């Protein structure tokens, strides 16, 4: 079985400060990891993914994420937060070689305060 945990339901950060949204995972095998963002009344949008290679992955809108195998984590980061980054963020995992179920975490609501 595979699972994703997002330990924080809510993250608040001041505009211009760095932000981190945490994600840990559990899979049997090598993980493929994803971050998606959801704005109100809209579907999920892909931000970035880790498949293999460099542990630091860069994605859309200045976001990046660091894969840490020993800690089974894939935290989302951004050096300087914008008010427009306020949204619901989801981490998701799949097992390498499996095209089946993408398992999502419960989501973290990010609020960037002006």
Partner 1 sequence: EAGVAQSPRYKIIEKRQSVAFWCNPISGHATLYWYQQILGQGPKLLIQFQNNGVVDDSQLPKDRFSAERLKGVDSTLKIQPAKLEDSAVYLCASSLVVTAGDIQYFGAGTRLSVL
- Cα separation, 95 vs 32, in Å, equals 6
Check residue 44 for interaction with partner 1 (CB under 8 A). yes
Locate tokens 């935290």: which residue? 75
User: How far, CA to CA in Å, does 24 sit from each of 35, 41, 61, 64, 80?
Assistant: 12, 27, 22, 16, 23
Q: Across-strand partners of 24?
A: 5, 73
Check residue 102 for interaction with partner 1 (CB under 8 A). yes
**Per-residue binding letters, 53-92, with partner 1 (x by CB under 8 A):** -------------------------------------x-x
By beta-carbon proximity to partner 1, the closer residue of 10 and 114 is: 10
Contact residues for 5 (Cβ-Cβ < 8 A; gap 6+)? 23, 24, 25, 26, 105
Could you tell me the smallest distance in angstroms from the CB atom of residue 112 to partner 1?
21
Interface with partner 1 (CB under 8 A), residue from 43, 53, 54, 114 = 43
Q: Which residues bind partner 1 (CB under 8 A)?
A: 4, 32, 34, 36, 41-46, 49, 51, 90, 92, 94-102, 104-107
């Amino acid at each position: 079985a595979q699972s994703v945990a997002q330990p924080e339901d809510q993250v608040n950060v001041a505009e211009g400060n760095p932000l981190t949204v945490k994600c840990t995972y559990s899979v049997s095998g090598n993980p493929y990891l994803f971050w998606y963002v959801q704005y109100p009344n809209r579907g999920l949008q892909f931000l970035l993914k880790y498949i293999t290679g460099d542990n630091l992955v860069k994605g859309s809108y200045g976001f990046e994420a660091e894969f840490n195998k020993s800690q089974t984590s894939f935290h989302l980061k951004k050096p300087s937060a914008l008010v427009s980054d306020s949204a619901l963020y989801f981490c998701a995992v799949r097992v390498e070689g499996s095209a089946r179920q993408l398992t999502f975490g419960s989501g973290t609501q990010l609020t960037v305060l002006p």
